Structure formats: C-alpha cells, structure tokens
Amino acid sequence: MNFAYYPGCSAKGSSSDYESSTQAVCRALDITLEEIPGWNCCGSTPAHAVDTELSAALCVRNLDIAARQGADLLLTPCPSCLSNLRAAARRMEKPAFRQRVNELLDAPAAETFPEVTSVMQGIARQIDRETLAARVQTSLKGLRLAAYYGCLMSRPSELMRFEDPENPLLMEGLLSACGAEMVDFPLKTACCGASFGIPERAMTARNSGRILELARRLGVDAVVTACPLCQMNLDLRQKQAGRACETSFHLPVLYFTQMLGLALGLKRNELGLNKLAVSANGLLEKMDNLRRADAVEGGRS
Amino acid sequence: MNDAIDISHVRDAAFTAEVEARSGQKVASCYQCGNCTAGCPAGFAYDMQVSQIMRGVQLGLKDSVLKSRSIWMCLSCSTCSQRCPNNIDVAAVMETLRHMARKEGHITVPKVEKFWLSFLNTVRAFGRSYEIGTMVLYMMRSLRVYTDVDLAPTAFAKGKLGLLPHLTPGGAEPVERIFRRYRERAKREGGRP
Ligand code: SF4
Ligand code: SF4
Ligand code: SF4
Ligand code: SF4
C-alpha cells in the first residue's frame, strides 16, 4: 500500500531517529511512504501563534502539492504538523478565508485536499492486531511501558478525531500486540511544555518532570512517544526536568516506531537507538535476557 | 461606593464583541466553573488564570487581558477547550487575544515573541526550520546567549541539531514569497507582521 508522506522538519533534524524507524517499520509492514516533492515547514506553533493566515498558507502549500500528486491520504509522523495541516484544511472550507490564503500563495490552492492522518493511525488502519502479532520476531513480553501521546495527538478533539481524547489507547493496542505490558498512564495526554524549553525553560522542565516522575513511580522500563518535540523534552531535556523536580531521572524515552521496530526484529542501527540522549542499553539488555530465558525454558519443555 | 469593584471606567463592550467575532467562540456562555484553570499546565506562570481571562473578556477588561502575561505563556495544548462544559474553545480565545495584543503592540513577554519570530525567520530563509539557526537567531534577538548551552554537547553528539539548514529542494523561494506577501499585506493593513 502506498501513502503520500509529509515528514516534517524535525524528521530531517532533531528526530532523524523517528524518521529512520518510521521508514524501517513501514517497509517491514509493506507500507510505502512516498515523500511529497518540495514540501516546506508547516510553521509549527510559532506560525499560528503569530498569524492564522500565514500558518494556513504554509500548510496549504503542502496540501496542495499532495492534492496535485493525486494522493487520497497523506501521512505525517509529527502530531504538530498533523494538527496544523488539518486546521488549515478545515479553515480553507470558508470561502473568505480561502481567498485570504490564496492571496499569499503563488497560485490558488486546489479545491479539495487529501485527508491527513498520523503514521500511527495509518499503520493501525493497514495492519490489524493479529497480523501485527504474527509479524513479531522478538516479543516485548516482560517489558512494562507507558504510552505518552502528548497533547496534540488527540486535541482539539473534533479536529483530531483520535479516539477518546482523554484516554486514547491506540499505542497501547499496537505495543501490547507485540507482547508489552502497558501501564495505565493518567498523564498520557498532558502537555510536556512544548517549545517553551527555549524561551522559558521552567515551563517545559516542570511539565516534563511531572510526566517522568509519574512514569518512574509506575516502574516502567521506558516511556513511548509519538511526537518529536515530546521526545526531545522528555529525553534530551531529561536532566533539566530532573533538576526542576529536585531529583534525577534515568528513563529511556523511545518513539513507538522504535519499539515496534525492536519487536519486528529490525536492525537496531536502523532504528536510530544510538540517537537517544538517555541510553536504551539497559532496556535492550533486559529484552535480550528475557528472550534468552524464554529460549532456555522452551528448550527444557 | 466601593472603588475596588468600580470597573465602569475600564469596561469595553466592543472588545468583548471583537473577541467573540474573531475567535468564533461564545465567551458569554462561560459560567466560571474553573475547569479550564484546573487543568491548565501553564497556570503556574500566569498572572491571570485562564478562567479569569475568560471573565475579563466577558467584562470587557481589554487592558488587563491584552497586557496579561498569560496569553504569552499559554502552551496551546487545548486541555481547557477539551474540558469546558460549555464547549468553548478556550485555547482559540487565548490565541485570538495573543493576535489582538500583538496588533496593539502589547508584547508582555518579549522573549516568547522573539523565539517565535526567529523560528519563522529560519523557515522564511530556508523553507524548513533549521534548529541551530532558530537557537542562534533567538539568542541574538534576545541576547540570552546562555540559552541551552548545557544541551549543546549532547545534542550535537547525537546529531539532534542540524549543522546545516534543510533547504527545501527547488529552493526556498516559494516559501519566501509567502512570507513576503504576508508582510506586505500586514503592513498595508496596519498590523505587526
Ligand atoms: S511542526 Fe515541527 S516538524 Fe512539523 S513541519 Fe513544522 S517544524 Fe517541522
Ligand atoms: S511536544 Fe508537548 S506540546 Fe507538543 S504535542 Fe508533545 S506534549 Fe504537546
Ligand atoms: S491551551 Fe493554554 S490556557 Fe488552555 S490549558 Fe493549555 S496552556 Fe492553559
Ligand atoms: S471551563 Fe469553560 S465555563 Fe468553565 S471557566 Fe473555563 S471557560 Fe468558563
């Protein structure tokens, strides 16, 4: 199955590990991602914080490229891109708004755009639980994980239409199909502090710290994310978050695609695990030990 | 006569109407339950809690609302909108207020605006965001040169910061043109681009 694909900027920079693991997992699941040519940044939060029409114009240029490619579904890994693309498409339904945005573009945009959804939902649409379970090479059994969605994946709910907006379970579904034990994680849609890490560090450190603290109390082996910025706040900024909570954390924070990749038996270097600021080596060792124990047991019976 | 509650001299009914029109939200239906404030992750950094902002809008307290720190510290996480029993998109109201404050030249937390503008500058210049570029530009705009230096070694070692901007293939000109038209129009219409 082929999908048009909008990687978003972080895929090419701070979250190249999300990108490589997304590509690897999709390939393994026979999903082909076709990057739309000449895409540009959606403008992220700064654009809509500054001006709705500017933000829409940046998004619509990409939607227009996808429409002209004849795509009927566009996938993106980044919830922030997804939210912006969807909000822009919705606003373009109003003729007055459409006209203001068209004025900013080289040529008026296509009348209709393809539907946009996340890579996670794209995978779940293509592969059902049984099929995924049947593809598992290295079970995640014995690992306790917290699924963390962040705020944009499910909100605003009428725009994102992502399950129960306060308690989504899609990631739990995918990872439990691979054998993992998923804890009930009450802060799964709480905000981590967004890009305020740069101008106002306390905002991000406190909010991310609260999330990490809860995960630690629940005794998880790792936190699993779907958003490049969430991942950066919880991983690269983990020390800052620890300082804000007067403690120090050591919790690996992986993308759900990296976790899926491990289960599908993909090469670890393909999954970009070396890019994590908090090393996942302990987690990998635990996994290896668990599977070795299985093998011994299997041999005995 | 109680001075503390005499607010007649600061009430601006046109302001209330403008916020409702621009945001498309019926602020009047807020009954001050406080759900939005209870769930707001940024509240600790606010000078007026988000439910107080809503009340301020209802009362037409234009100055206190548009000059508040809160509208700049809002994370746009939409927790408030999700939990409002009256289905008000509270986050959209916050965003509208930020746009209006910028238009009127009230930038209560300049460093947040500086960060956004430097981010957008890199997008304008390269078509895609250029993380290290955003950081450097931001530092130059705000002179907070120590921003995140503690992260830089790990970030570089892990290849988390692109040393080179990711140029949109085919050049960044189409994106540059969007920004140019946007700026020209904003100038024409008398706003702050
Ligand atoms: S939201 Fe982030 S990842 Fe998405 S395109 Fe924009 S900067 Fe890039
Ligand atoms: S980075 Fe933070 S703000 Fe962005 S989606 Fe993730 S939780 Fe929300
Ligand atoms: S959108 Fe802003 S006001 Fe609403 S809960 Fe999030 S941070 Fe608070
Ligand atoms: S949740 Fe809604 S009704 Fe309650 S205070 Fe906030 S805006 Fe008003």
Q: Kindly provide the ipTM of the predicted complex, given to two decimals.
A: 0.85
- DSSP for A255-268, written as a single string: EHHHHHHHHTT--T
pLDDT at B165: 45
- Do residue A40 and residue B162 have CB atoms under 8 angstroms apart? no
Q: Is residue A11 very low, low, confident or very high in pLDDT (cuts 50, 70, 90)?
A: confident
What pLDDT shows up at residue A1? Answer: 74
Are B35 and B85 contacting, i.e. CB atoms less than 8 angstroms apart?
Answer: yes
CATH number for the domain whose boundaries are A137-300: 3.40.50.11810
Residues B137 and B181 in one domain: yes
pLDDT at position A178 = 98
Could you tell me the residue range of the domain that residue B147 belongs to?
Answer: 110-189
Which of B66, B82, B103 is at the close of a domain? Answer: B103
Question: So what's the pLDDT on residue A200?
Answer: 79
- Compute the mean pLDDT over every residue in chain B, rounded to the nearest whole number: 81
Minimal CA–CA distance to A117: which of A234, A33, A49? A33
Check pLDDT > 50 for residue B162. no
Taking CA atoms, A136 is separated from A132, A179, A208, A292, B23, in Å, by: 7, 9, 32, 16, 48
B71 with B127, same domain: the answer is no
Residue to substitute from B76, B83, B138, interface A, most A β-carbons within 10 A: B76
Is the pLDDT reported for residue A107 higher than 90? yes
For residue A48, give every residue at least 6 positions away whose Cβ sits within 8 Å of its Cβ, in sequence order, or none.
A55, A84, A87, B76, B95
Q: Which residues, judged by CB distance below 6 Å to any ligand atom, belong to the binding site of ligand 3?
A: B 39-42, 50, 74-80, 90-91, 94
Residue B53 is which amino acid? I
Our count of domains for chain B comes to 2
Same domain, B29 and B71: yes
pLDDT for residue A282 is more than 90 = yes
Side by side, the strands of the sheet bearing A32-35 are A32-35, A2-5, A73-76, A115-118
pLDDT of the residue at A283 = 97
Q: How far apart are CA B118 and CA A261, in angstroms?
A: 36
Structural domain includes residue B170? yes
d(CA B176, CA B193): 14
Tell whether B96 and B20 lie within a shared domain.
yes
**What residue ranges of chain A are covered by domains with CATH 3.40.50.11810?**
137-300
What is the pLDDT at residue B149?
A: 55
State the span(s) of chain A assigned CATH 1.20.1050.140. 2-120
Q: Is residue B167 part of a domain?
A: yes
What tens digit of pLDDT does each residue of A114-136 get?
999 999 999 999 999 999 999 99
Residue B164: pLDDT band with limits 50, 70, 90: very low
Selection from B65, B55, B66, B64 nearest residue B28 by Cα: B55
Q: Give yes or no: residues B96 and B114 share one domain.
A: no
From the list A48, A151, A201, the residue facing B77 with the nearest CB is A151
A41, A191, A195 ranked by CB distance to B127: nearest: A41
Better-predicted residue by pLDDT, B123 or A187: A187
User: pLDDT tens digits, residue range A247-272?
Assistant: 999 999 999 999 999 999 999 989 99
Residues A218-238: what's their mean pLDDT?
92
Report the pLDDT value the prediction gives residue B163, as an integer from 0 to 100: 42
Lowest average pLDDT, out of A46-55, A180-189, A273-282, B153-162, goes to B153-162
Specify the pLDDT at position A122.
95
Question: What's the gap between Cα A182 and its chain centre?
Answer: 17
Do B21 and B97 share a domain, yes or no?
Answer: yes
More confident residue, A255 or B148: A255
Residue where a domain terminates, one of B41, B69, B103: B103
- pLDDT higher than 90, residue B3: no
Domain match, B91 and B114 both: no
Q: What confidence score (pLDDT) does residue B37 get?
A: 98
DSSP E strand boundaries for B100-183: none
Chains A and B form CB pairs within 8 A to the count of 170
**Is pLDDT of A297 > 90?**
no
Does the CB of B22 have a partner CB in chain A at under 8 Å?
A: no
Measured between alpha carbons, how far is B112 from A191 in angstroms, rounded to an integer? 18
Look at residue B21 and tell me if it is in a domain.
Answer: yes
What ligand 1 atom has the least distance to the C-alpha of B129? Answer: 7
Over residues B96-114, the pLDDT tens digits come to 999 999 999 999 998 888 8
pLDDT above 80 (res A202): yes
Average pLDDT of chain A is 92
Q: What confidence tier does A19 reach under pLDDT thresholds 50, 70, 90? A: very high
Residues in chain A closer than 8 A to B185 (CB atoms): 103-104
Residue B25 and residue A233: Cα distance in Å, rounded? 32
Task: Report residue B1's pLDDT band, with 50, 70 and 90 as the boundaries.
Answer: very low
User: With contact defined as beta carbons under 8 Å apart, do A263 and A291 qualify?
Assistant: no
Ligand 4 center to A160 CA (angstroms): 21
> Does residue B8 lie within any of the structural domains?
no
Q: How many residues are given for chain A?
A: 301
Do residues B117 and B98 both lie within one domain? no
**Cβ contact, residue pair A157, B82, below 8 Å:** yes
| CATH number of this structure's domain A2-120 | 1.20.1050.140
Report d(CA A205, CA A242) in Å as an integer.
8
- Residue A99 sits at the chain B interface (C-beta within 8 Å): no
**Domain-located, residue B126:** yes
Q: How confident is the model at residue A276 (pLDDT cuts 50, 70, 90)?
A: very high
Contact A11, A19 (CB under 8 A): yes
Taking the CA atoms of A197, A22, A77 and B122 in sequence, report the sign of the dihedral they define: positive
Nearest to A14 among B128, B147, B160 (CB): B160
Torsion angle (degrees, nearest 10) of CA B121, B124, B126, B132 = 20
pLDDT, mean of residues A81-110: 95
A193–B151 CB contact, under 8 Å: no
d(CA A235, CA A218): 18
- The pTM of this model reads 0.86
Mutate to test the interface with B, among A6, A36, A48, A50 (most CBs of B within 10 A): A50
pLDDT digits (tens, 9 = 90+) for B7-64: 566 789 999 999 999 999 999 999 999 999 999 999 999 999 999 999 999 999 999 9
Token couple for A195: 């890009």
Which has the minimum average pLDDT: A11-15, A104-108, B99-103?
A: A11-15
The predicted pLDDT at position B11 comes to: 85
Backbone φ and ψ of A225, nearest 5°: -120, 170
pLDDT band at residue A167, thresholds of 50, 70 and 90?
A: very high
Give the CATH number, domain containing residue B73: 1.10.1060.10
Residue A167 near chain B (CB below 8 Å): no
Task: List ligand 4's pocket residues with C-beta within 6 A.
Answer: B 30-36, 51, 54, 84-86, 88, 90
C-beta of residue A207 within 8 angstroms of C-beta of residue B41: yes
Which residue has better confidence, B26 or B131?
B26
Domain edge (last residue) among B62, B88, B103: B103
Within 113-132 of B, beta carbons closer than 8 Å to A belong to 114-117, 119-120, 123, 127-131
Average confidence (pLDDT) over A89-96: 96
A144-148, strands of its sheet edge to edge: A181-182, A144-148, A222-225, A253-255
Strands A115-118 and A73-76: parallel
Domain contains B4: no
B154 is a domain residue? yes
Answer yes or no: do A12 and B162 touch at CB < 8 A.
Answer: yes
Same domain flag for B116 and B89:
no
B122 lies in the same domain as B77: no
Up-side HSE of residue A186: CA atoms within 13 Å toward CB?
A: 7
Q: Considering all CA atoms of chain A, what is the largest pairwise distance in Å, rounded to the nearest integer?
A: 72
Q: How confident is the model at residue B147 (pLDDT cuts 50, 70, 90)?
A: low
